[in-house]
Structure 1
């Protein structure tokens, strides 16, 4: 068992939650998909267990987010998208044309974070930030 796997199991136990196969399947699906809606998570989970339904996925995502193991982001018009926090910290750049999601290193936002701090005495949490625009492929297409 990996150290990361044991860490999340300990986090569950410390908060009084049971370690269930459903939670393990949901977290595994989120990690596999990288950025996924609850419906996409359900599709992957159902590859292993047809007994899990969408409400079970939502409940487990809520618990996993409370434990700090996943985060949600709003990446457009669709349902909230969940991603694991086990990878490197990042925020999202989303192409409005092709819906491509790019994970961006938080240091890219250092300038705006500094201005917010200096001018507004505001500490930004860029890990929940989503920036919309056009990716290089779509911005070079004729309109």
Structure 2
């Protein structure tokens, strides 16, 4: 459904894998809360990273596909519980891109999503791009903006250019 384009974003996805190959920080965060790094948690996080911006249903479908006919895939409630836990740990984030279920993505850095209403392209930009608007909302309304959970909708350059070429 689109790609991340983020010149102001350092791009760090969270490392996932078996012990010793990048999952140690995740395992440590879980252990600090009295939890284990289960295969299900590792698989859910890996699916979020691979899919970039996906609904819980899409993540579950990916896990069922990976498990195959004889494999064991988590049910929908297990996917949701693991997503909630991984979000509390700061390993995944959910964003409302408009209509429908929120999408989840893995990132080590906060960012703002912009979504093209024409083609669905999702891009990420540094949150400081909205600093002046956030400061104005705080001053005028006493409102604090959580830019990570919403997306700005508009029209991307490619769609605007296509529209201007059409007679």
Q: Any gaps of 5 or more consecutive residues in structure 1?
A: none
Separation in 2 of the partners of 1:134 and 1:96? 6
The equivalent of 1:8 in structure 2 is 26
The equivalent of 1:41 in structure 2 is 59
Q: Match for 2:113 among 92, 101, 110?
A: 92
Is 1:68 matched with 2:90? yes
Counterparts of 1:1-143 in structure 2, within 5 Å, are 1=20, 5-49=23-67, 50-52=71-73, 53-86=75-108, 88-140=109-161, 141=163, 142=166
Q: Any gaps of 5 or more consecutive residues in structure 2?
A: 1-19
Runs of 4+ with deviation above 6 angstroms:
none
Separation in 2 of the partners of 1:74 and 1:118? 25
Tell me the TM-score normalised to structure 1 length.
Answer: 0.85
Separation in 2 of the partners of 1:73 and 1:121? 23
Tell me the TM-score normalised to structure 2 length.
Answer: 0.74
* CA RMSD of superposed structures (Å): 2.0
